[in-house]
Amino acid sequence: MLNKEQDIFNALFEGVSEGVLVVNTNQKIVSVNSSVEKMFGYDNGELIDQLLPVLIPKNYHAGHGAHFDGFMKQKEKRKMGVGRDLFGAKKSGEIFPLEVGLNPFKIDETTYIMALIVDVSVRKQQEEQILLLNEQLEKKVKERTKELSTSVKELKVLNIELDKENKKRIEAENKTKDALKKEKELNELKTKFLSLVSHEFKTPLSGILTSAMLLGKYKLTEQQQKRDKHLQTITNKVHYLNNILNDFLSLEILETGKVKYKFYTFRLSKVVNEVVYNANMLLKEGQRIKYPEDIDEISLTQDEKTVELALSNLVNNAIKYSPVNTEIIINIKQGKKFTTITIKDNGIGIPEADQKNIFNRYFRAENALLSEGTGIGLNIIKNHLQNLGGTLTFESEENVGSTFTMKIMNIAK
Ligand code: ADP
């Protein structure tokens, strides 16, 4: 029976694929199976009676004694070397990784320890390979991510460039559109200009012609008064035409940027008096101009001609667009930097719908068409005033009146 049990034990001992090794408390090897011999490269029976450290790499010998004693104190079944890698030393000196399970047991009061040993070289190699593969994979992922972010950056740059191109194209398109619009506007202006010239010149010219023809008929000395009257008409109409031509000239000068302002210091009262004096000749019946007479201390360092042109234009318009028996009031205020001049009338006013266009060249409000005019004056003087850092604005109500306000710098820059 004993022999049979021994046989079964031997069969099991030899049959397991793990290495099985038994030592006594003095670390003397008392039994090994062939797996252990194969694993460590020993011949059959060669390990018996050898001390355990023969299977342990030399550099672990120092620590091994303490580990063994520690285990002997506790004497319970456990895995060896938890948390650290274990290595075995082959007879050839080659070192290889292993895992060991420890099982203490007793036979006849003598304690033995059975160690179950597994060679984990292949597994470790595989683990290392997996680690290596993982590292390579991570590296690749990083590289790809970098490549991707570079591509994304490049795409962004490309996008920005495309955006720029697009903007440029839109700008070019808009420029073309603008140019076309300007050309159209120019054509419209030309047409307007031609019809205006033919209309505005035709009436005075035919007046001049009539007066000239009649002049020739008054041959007698006593008809001098009649001759004078026609001569006056001719002079007036020539002046009128001359003024229109001057306006066109101003336009041309403004347009080409050839305006040259001359700045010097003058008294505003001088300009006001001159404008009012000239305007008085144009007044309709019962019309009156009220203007400040206590402005001797107000001086401007400006282009006098332009200030005069602006003021006379505004006052002449006030007269032209107001009926008989009305008052035109000029007000003047000098501030620290600017002087403000307002010209108020109780005239026909400007219809609300036309107000937005009033400074456009050749524009005339619908209710002004019965009076002579070219629609140039306001456009010219607004441009001039703006060139000089000033402004021209107005408030108006149809059939009530208008107030034009010009603001000029006391000292032109
Ligand atoms: P013009 O008087 O030769 O037509 P302006 O440029 O001086 O040209 O004026 C443009 C238009 O503004 C006038 O045709 C008129 O419709 C309107 N306007 C100007 N001043 C007045 C005013 N004081 N009252 C009413 N309408 C005015």
For 312-326, how does the pLDDT look when each residue is reduced to its tens digit (9 = 90+)? 999 999 999 999 999
Q: Is the pLDDT of residue 337 over 80?
A: yes
Task: Give the phi and the psi of residue 408 in degrees, each rounded to 5.
Answer: -125, 155
* Total domains, the chain: 3
Q: Cα–Cα distance between 241 and 223 in angstroms, integer?
A: 27
* Residue 309 and residue 290 share a domain: yes
Per-residue pLDDT, averaged over 209-225, amounts to 88
Predicted model pTM: 0.57
Query: Do 102 and 140 fall within a single domain?
Result: no
Q: Which of 193, 282, 315, 321 to mutate to test the pocket of ligand 1 (most atoms within 8 A of CB)?
A: 321
Is the minimum distance from the CB of 347 to ligand 1 under 6 angstroms? Answer: yes
Instruction: Please report which confidence band the pLDDT of residue 2 belongs to, taking 50, 70 and 90 as the band edges.
Output: low
- The predicted model gives 165-189 an average pLDDT of 90
Give the nearest ligand 1 atom to 401 CA: 24
**More reliable by pLDDT, 16 or 35:** 35
Mean pLDDT in residue range 243-255: 82
Distance 172 CA to ligand 1 centre (A): 38
- The pLDDT mean for the chain works out to 90
Instruction: Say which residues have a Cβ less than 8 Å from residue 131's Cβ, sequence separation at least 6.
Output: none
For atom 7 of ligand 1, the residue with the nearest CA is 377
CATH number of the domain at 320, please: 3.30.565.10
Range of the domain at 89: 3-119
What DSSP string describes 269-292?
Answer: HHHHHHHHHHHHTT--TT-EEE--
Do 269 and 296 lie in one domain? The reply is yes
Q: Is the pLDDT of residue 381 over 90?
A: yes
Atom of ligand 1 lying closest to residue 354 CA: 16
In the chain, the percentage of residues whose pLDDT exceeds 70 is 97
What does the pLDDT look like over 106-122, one tens digit per residue?
Answer: 888 888 999 999 998 88
**Banded pLDDT at 41 (limits 50, 70, 90):** very high
Q: pLDDT of 401-410, one tens digit each?
A: 999 999 999 9
How distant, in Å, are the alpha carbons of 23, 32, 42, 223 from that of 92?
22, 18, 9, 155
Length of the chain: 413
> Which uninterrupted H or E stretch holds 312?
helix 304-320
Going from the Cα of 111 to the center of ligand 1, the distance in angstroms, rounded, reads 128
Looking at 86, 101, 119, the residue that finishes a domain is 119
* pLDDT score at 203: 83
Substitution site in 243, 246, 350, 403 for ligand 1 pocket (most atoms within 8 Å of beta carbon): 350
Q: In ligand 1, which atom is closest to the CA atom of 366?
A: 16
